[in-house]
């Protein structure tokens, strides 16, 4: 990061309890059906890499959406980097979201824009000066190993490359937290490992990562914290865990 930018950003804000993410007794109900989340307590420290696993419908994506402030909790309290999301005003949501990068299973790139533009777009939205964009985009594209492909359109790229573009876009604004909802769900095993190595190195550089996945092999191999959800509750939370600890 350029030193000027670092100064501007200042010190990373944490919650009063020293965590980067805190959920206290959080529930979320949709208009119909049983609560998608039911009394979730969770504390995540700055710099952690956390897998969230669990059956389809167990509430994983709902948790991600609450953290993105796409949804508001029905009950309980969510604090992220010193912001109480249950009290956060609508007009403050875009600024809050600058703390977060998000990656989805289906990449969600702009199909009619090239790689450079897909990444630059995230900076234009927050009005980063063009001069800085021209410096930041190539730099983040080289982090994800795509410096040579900046002119390509998404359809000219493999799935793994498209996900790298999405990761570059998620990272270009230097978020403290990266949220990933099944980011390897559409990728073959080799590409999955490449993406996992990339995410691990991003985490080693200080970014807190929460990743939802169904991939047993990577969860078991990576020996990170594993949170298992079932029907809207956390049924296990293990340091250096895996699917094997599930039962
Ligand atoms: P997961 O990501 O673990 O598969 P979700 O968080 O997507 O689970 O869903 C949790 C529960 O909430 C499921 O029962 C799902 O059907 C329900 N749900 C999710 N989104 C909505 C919605 N927009 N409206 C109503 N119910 C929903
Ligand atoms: Mg989901």
Task: Give the pair of three-digit tokens for residue 82.
Answer: 């010193």
User: In this predicted model, what pLDDT tens digit does every residue of 25-53 receive, in sequence order?
Assistant: 999 999 998 999 999 999 999 999 999 99
What is the domain-level CATH number for residue 89? Answer: 3.40.50.300
| 59 Cβ inside 6 Å of ligand 1 | yes
The pLDDT, as a whole number, for residue 242 is 84
Say if residue 212's pLDDT is above 50.
Answer: yes
CB contact burial 135-150 (16+ within 10 A = b; e otherwise): ebbeebbebbebeebb
The boundaries of the domain holding residue 162 are 2-245
Mean pLDDT, to the nearest integer, of 51-73? 97
Beta strand pairing call for 49-54 and 225-230: parallel
Number of domains into which the chain is organized: 1
Which among 31, 34, 36 is the best mutation to test ligand 1's pocket, defined by most ligand atoms within 8 Å of the CB?
36
Which ligand is nearest the CA of 57, by number? 1
The pLDDT, as a whole number, for residue 210 is 98
- Write the residue with the smallest CA distance to atom 7 of ligand 1: 61
User: Max Cα separation, the chain?
Assistant: 54
Q: pTM for this structure?
A: 0.93
Say if residue 247's pLDDT is above 60.
Answer: no
Average pLDDT of the chain, as a whole number: 93
| 62 Cβ inside 6 Å of ligand 1 | yes
The pLDDT, as a whole number, for residue 241 is 85
Closest CA to 115 of 164, 167, 151, 143: 151
Q: Where does the pLDDT of residue 184 fall: very low under 50, low under 70, confident under 90, or very high at 90 and above? A: very high
> Which residues, by Cβ under 5 Å, contact ligand 2, an ion?
60-61
Structure-model confidence comparison of residues 4 and 15, the more confident one? 15
Q: Where does the pLDDT of residue 4 fall: very low under 50, low under 70, confident under 90, or very high at 90 and above? A: very low
Mean pLDDT, to the nearest integer, of 96-103? 96
Closest CA to 66 of 94, 39, 86, 46: 86
Which ligand is nearest the CA of 65, by number? 1
How far is it, in rounded angstroms, from Cα 205 to Cα 223? 18
């Amino acid at each position: 990061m350029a030193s000027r930018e670092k100064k501007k950003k200042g010190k990373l804000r944490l919650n009063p309890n020293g965590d980067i993410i805190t959920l206290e007794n959080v529930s979320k109900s949709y208009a119909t059906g049983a609560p998608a989340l039911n009394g979730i307590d969770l504390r995540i420290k700055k710099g952690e890499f956390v897998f969230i696993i669990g059956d389809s419908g167990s509430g994983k994506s709902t948790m991600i959406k609450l953290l993105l402030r796409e949804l508001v909790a029905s009950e309980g309290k969510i604090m992220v980097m010193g912001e109480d999301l249950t009290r956060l005003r609508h007009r403050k949501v875009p600024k809050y979201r600058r703390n977060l990068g998000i990656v989805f299973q289906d990449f969600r790139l702009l199909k009619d824009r090239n790689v450079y533009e897909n990444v630059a777009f995230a900076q234009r939205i927050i009005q980063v000066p063009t001069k800085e964009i021209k410096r930041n985009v190539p730099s983040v594209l080289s982090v994800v190993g795509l410096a040579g492909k900046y002119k390509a359109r998404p359809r000219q790229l493999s799935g793994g490359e498209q996900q790298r573009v999405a990761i570059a876009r998620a990272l270009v604004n230097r978020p403290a937290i990266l949220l990933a909802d099944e980011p390897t769900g559409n990728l073959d095993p080799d590409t999955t490992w490449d993406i996992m190595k990339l995410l691990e190195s991003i985490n080693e550089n200080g970014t807190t990562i929460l990743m939802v996945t169904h991939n047993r092999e990577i969860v078991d191999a990576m020996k990170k914290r594993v949170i298992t959800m079932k029907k809207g509750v956390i049924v296990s939370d293990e340091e250096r865990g895996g699917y094997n600890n599930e039962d």
